[in-house]
Chains A and B, each alone.
Chain A
Amino acid sequence: MSAELSYDRLKNHSAKLQLANNLKLALAVEFATKDLKIKINDTVDSPSLTTDKVHLFDADAILRYAMDQFSGAFTSESFDSLSKLEPALYKEELTTHDKEHAVHALKNYLVSNLKDTDSATKLITFANVAALIPDEVAKTDLLKHLPAKITIAWETAKRLVPRDSAQFKN
């Protein structure tokens, strides 16, 4: 089955929302089941995956569909990720609570558990946490020991997110 995937380049999405979405989409490309042939469509700016059977716009659903992995969608980790981390991706500024939720998810779900994983729930949590608190993630060893597929997706996602103007050199 063939599918067309487009990354999140929406101007009304913040950099952290774009990073989380694009990481999930890049992970969908890396972890897709063998029967799903994904082609990138650069002409569309909004996150989406389209086959002849379905059109999806939510990055979590796209990753789960690509991996054909839905059983973890109703776990407490998934609930935390959706109801505590994802709303923060839409905010201009993170509150103390938002940061605490992200640090809690990093400590409880990721630090010792991301190696050798192909769990969609874990990958979604990772994308949300990495986008919300990149500095905290960098302090751990998480990024140094990522499986190759996740490293490739991480590099793709970072490349797709526009640079902060503060990073430009004069």
Chain B
Amino acid sequence: MSELVVQFQKLSIAREAPALNREQLALATQWDAVLKSGQVERNLDNINLCLRDNTFLVATRVPTVTDVKLFESVFPLTKQLVSSTKDVKDTYAKYRHIIRWVDFLQRLLPIEKTEQLSMNYDLELPREVI
């Protein structure tokens, strides 16, 4: 079990997690498959889409261990995406839901300030067309 998962499980938010229904179990299974088969980067758009429609990956009101496990892979990818582009605004706009989720989890877990994704909350993004 990773250090982040251990840290998460000490939080009251993790201990009070509700039982998952059929749809939420299916989502947890889906993200577990993406993670274990090594297809996280390929599925960034799907992760962003899921987080557009849900606050967290398993459609719960609070983060679950699935969020933490995916976060471990998505966090460095997001940092890389944001730092490697000249058009930060474009990356923020494209992955706005992932970035919102990463920002929440990096503060919840917590990730050290120096390691965190540096957020620009003043960036004006174009409205999302659904």
Contacts and interface: CB of A to CB of B under 8 A. Distances in A.
Interface residues of B, number: 17
A51 B30 CA distance: 15
Given A79-B36, A82-B36, A61 B23 contact: no
B70 to A, nearest CB: 13
Main secondary structure of the interface of A (DSSP, over half): helix
A83 B37 contact: yes
A79 to B, nearest CB: 7
Main secondary structure of the interface of B (DSSP, over half): helix
B73 interface: no
B25 A90 contact: no
B64 to A, nearest CB: 14
B29 interface: yes
A64 B26 CA distance: 7
Contacts of A56: 26-27, 30
A68 interface: yes
A161 to B, nearest CB: 19
Nearest to B49: A55
Interface string B12-29: 000000000011011111
Nearest to B32: A73
Contacts of A90: 37, 39
B33 A58 contact: yes
A97 to B, nearest CB: 14
A109 interface: no
A53 interface: yes
Contacts of A57: 30, 46
A87 interface: yes
Interface of A: 51, 53-54, 56-58, 60-62, 64-65, 68, 70, 73, 79, 82-83, 86-87, 90
Which are the 5 A-B pairs with shortest beta-carbon distances? Answer: A61-B30, A65-B26, A82-B36, A86-B37, A54-B23
